[in-house]
Amino acid sequence: MTLAEKIFALHSGRDKVKAGDMVMAKLDMVLGTDVTVPLSVEVFRRMGAKKVFDPDKISLVNDHFVPAKDVQAATLSKIMREFAEEQEISSYFEVGRSGICHALLPDKGLVRPGDLVVGADSHTCTYGALGAFATGIGSTDMACAWALGELWFRVPESTRVNITGKLKPFVGAKDLILHIINKLGVNGAIYHAIEFTGETIENLSMDGRFTIANMAIEAGAKTGLIRADEKTWDFVANTLKINPEQSSKSKNSPREGVFLQSDDDAEYSQELNIDAGSIEPTVAAPYLPSNAKLVGELKNVKVDQIVIGSCTNGRVDDFRAAAKVLGDNPVHHKVRLIMIPGTPGIMRQLLAEGLVDKFVKAGAILSPPTCGPCIGGHMGVLAQDEVGLFTTNRNFKGRNGHPDSKVYLCGPEVAAASALTGYITDPRDI
């Protein structure tokens, strides 16, 4: 079996499943956010449900329109807050203790290897970096998941993307995944589990792996998966405050997760081989994440606003990479640079390393953790004809502000270099 098939076999009580099988599978975690929970609450009531299946297996996160940007946003959060209190949800995250959901849940130890996770947000696939099968659902399905603790699935086919070689300086996980999406296309892996393998993936930090898994959905995938290994184990042990030397050597206890991997004779519907050493700094031009270009092809594109953050690139490694490129130089006087750490913990780490002071001195503004400009919500919405360069995951027409605005997607290195010049810039030129 593939990794995806093994997870579904485990959660459906079967010895074996194959792509195309229909299964009812038990859930380990159900995620909801301020923008998706209110509709689910309404459906939950209409179903006649009274209590959720397990208040410890539900996470409710304030992140999309927080701090509340208007009365409507405040009302959405209020509905979620009251439902969390009514149902005694243990993992409810209030503003000030919350973060961008897909950065927050892993850091809180709420997702573990081998888990089956659903969330009413399309980028729930991020948790595949931990060796968990995680996928997005609609608000109606989330109400069912709250009530029953299980959902039906069609076991997906698997696509293997094998990546070997060493990434060049100033080329990171975002450049890699933009390159892969360009190769596959936005429809290249519809309802597939993309399994990322190879030495390049093994050498990536967990922050880099989260970036890779996060954008699997942009190729149409059901999820993105990376086999859990020693790096995963160290991450999980840290979030759960476990001493790896004293804990279970098998790493297969229910609390610590189940470390699975595809069999050697597993069947994949398609395979793609990538030479990491051939990848250059990459930017996705409007209006698709698959519209990848080499950074040099876009060097004459003037930018008005740059955003470094989001569930894709809002982790510590991303800000360290940006700081390395920025040096002690000021942000171009015609550029707005907005930086959004994914969680309060990430913000504290940036403070401890002196990076917050560095960014503010350069002329950047730091936002509290929020999806904000990624969804054109607030904290950096674009005006008509403005051009944004974002480290987010989507650049669909009108997503980030006015329908006549344009957004280019990139990694933190390109974003930081461009912040210094006012134009899309190759970080190697700085």
Q: What is the pLDDT of residues 95-105, one digit of tens each?
A: 999 999 999 99
> Given 233, 257, 274, which residue is the final one in a domain?
274
Domain, as residue range, for 187: 3-274
* 258 and 345 co-located in one domain: no
Number of folded domains in the chain? 2
pLDDT-derived band at 239, boundaries 50, 70, 90: confident
* 66 and 193 co-located in one domain: yes
- 81 part of a folded domain: yes
* 258 and 115 co-located in one domain: yes
Is there a contact between 386 and 304 (Cβ–Cβ < 8 Å)? Answer: yes
* 162 and 290 co-located in one domain: no
* 152 and 10 co-located in one domain: yes
* 244 and 299 co-located in one domain: no
Peptide bond into 287 cis (omega under 30): yes
* 316 and 269 co-located in one domain: no
Q: Is 81 helix (H, G, I), strand (E, B) or coil?
A: helix
- 312 part of a folded domain: yes
- 430 part of a folded domain: no
Residues 131-158, mean pLDDT to the nearest whole number: 97
- 51 part of a folded domain: yes
* 151 and 46 co-located in one domain: yes
The verdict on pTM exceeding 0.75 is: yes
> Given 231, 250, 274, which residue is the final one in a domain?
274
* 51 and 164 co-located in one domain: yes
Residue type, 264: D
User: What whole-number distance in Å separates Cα of residue 289 and Cα of residue 185?
Assistant: 9
pLDDT-derived band at 248, boundaries 50, 70, 90: very low
Residues 266-286, mean pLDDT to the nearest whole number: 97
Q: What angle (nearest 5°) sits at the alpha carbon of residue 178, between those of residues 262 and 136?
A: 60
Is there a contact between 355 and 320 (Cβ–Cβ < 8 Å)? Answer: yes
Q: Which two tokens stand for residue 271?
A: 């395979």
- 117 part of a folded domain: yes
> Given 258, 274, 290, which residue is the final one in a domain?
274
Q: Please, what is the angle between helix 316-326 and helix 344-352, to 10°?
A: 40
Give Cβ neighbours of residue 329 (< 8 Å, ≥ 6 apart).
362, 420
pLDDT-derived band at 249, boundaries 50, 70, 90: very low
* 309 and 358 co-located in one domain: yes
* 329 and 259 co-located in one domain: no
Backbone angles phi, psi at 369, to 5 degrees: -55, 125
* 82 and 148 co-located in one domain: yes
Q: CATH no. for residue 356?
A: 3.30.499.10
Q: Is residue 245 pLDDT above 80, yes or no?
A: no
Give the chain's length.
430
- 22 part of a folded domain: yes
Is there a contact between 7 and 132 (Cβ–Cβ < 8 Å)? Answer: yes
- 161 part of a folded domain: yes
Give Cβ neighbours of residue 312 (< 8 Å, ≥ 6 apart).
123, 174, 211, 214, 215, 391, 392, 393
